[in-house]
Amino acid sequence: MEWIRGPAIGRGSTATVSLATAVPSGELFAVKSTELCHSMFLQRENYVLSKLSCPHIVKYIGYDVTNETNNKPTYNLCMEYVTGGTLSEEIRRVGGRLGEERVRLYTQQILQGLSYLHVNGVAHCDIKSQNILIGKEGAKIADLGCAKLMGKDGENQGFDTSAISGTPAFMAPEVARGVEQGFEADIWALGCTIIEMSTGNSPWPELNDPVSA
């Protein structure tokens, strides 16, 4: 697939998301990119996302390795472009909290996406408003860089199913203690996200370090 990179539309700790245009169709999609030598999490996300197909999980398109800045190999994960931005951005746009009907709708859609992941043996491990995209069809789960394939499938693909990852303020107690991280922790993190949708704040806005607390 030939494509042209456009402007950056998002930045994370390890990758940049850009708008891209397919050639010659002109179709827009999103490209998540990082240097090939630092692409372990992005390659994991590519593997997991390529196995999934659900209306409430961002759609996988493919991947590409290119030589760009300073002629360094760059790993690119290609996904659908979801026009509404993140759930976190929507919360801010409407003044800090969503209406009850919108909270209910997004919660149902995220649960449908999580149910699909869990049935297919995938724990997301970093559910939060920044990792939920909002499009015309509603909420879509994105950013599976921390995801785990649970059980033998994960072990066979070299996934460390004992590793702990994610965002501290959204971690379940057992995850914060470093005990375990699985499907149940995704539900806890969704609960924290529902609180954020309803109030505009995380469950512990007054704490600098919710994990230690």
Q: What is the pLDDT of residues 52-63, one digit of tens each?
A: 999 999 999 999
For the cut 60, the answer to whether the pLDDT of residue 208 exceeds it is no
Catalytic residue among 126, 160, 186, 209: 126
Per the annotation, where are the binding residues for ATP? 32
Same domain, 175 and 106: yes
For residue 208, being part of any structural domain is answered with no
Give the type of residue at 194: I
User: What Cα–Cα distance (Å) separates residue 51 from each residue in 61, 89, 96?
Assistant: 11, 28, 35
For the cut 90, the answer to whether the pLDDT of residue 167 exceeds it is no
- Which CATH number belongs to the domain containing residue 7 in this structure? 3.30.200.20
Same domain, 49 and 133: no
Q: What is the pLDDT of residue 153?
A: 54
Minimal CA–CA distance to 129: which of 198, 52, 31?
198
- Which CATH number belongs to the domain containing residue 108 in this structure? 1.10.510.10
Q: What is the pLDDT of residue 80?
A: 96
Same domain, 71 and 162: no
Q: How many CA atoms lie within 13 A of 49 on its CB side?
A: 27
pLDDT band at 143 (very low <50, low <70, confident <90, very high): very high
Q: What is the pLDDT of residue 1?
A: 79
Taking the whole predicted model, whether its pTM rises above 0.85 is answered as: yes
For the cut 60, the answer to whether the pLDDT of residue 157 exceeds it is no
Q: What is the pLDDT of residue 90?
A: 96
Q: What is the pLDDT of residue 202?
A: 82
For residue 106, being part of any structural domain is answered with yes
Same domain, 127 and 165: yes
For residue 210, being part of any structural domain is answered with no
Read off φ and ψ for residue 120, nearest 5 degrees.
Answer: -95, 15
CA-CA distance, 30 to 145, in Å (whole number)?
16
Same domain, 177 and 136: yes
pLDDT band at 144 (very low <50, low <70, confident <90, very high): very high
Asked which of 80, 104, 124 is the last residue of a domain, the reply is 80
Q: What is the pLDDT of residue 156?
A: 46
Same domain, 124 and 161: yes
Same domain, 150 and 178: yes
Domain count, the chain: 2
Is 64 catalytic? The answer is: no
pLDDT band at 83 (very low <50, low <70, confident <90, very high): very high
Asked which of 80, 113, 145 is the last residue of a domain, the reply is 80
Same domain, 76 and 89: no
- 161 or 138, which is more confident: 138
For residue 102, being part of any structural domain is answered with yes
Same domain, 38 and 139: no
Asked which of 56, 80, 104 is the last residue of a domain, the reply is 80
Per the structure, the complete domain to which residue 137 belongs is given by 85-202
Q: How many residues does the chain have?
A: 213
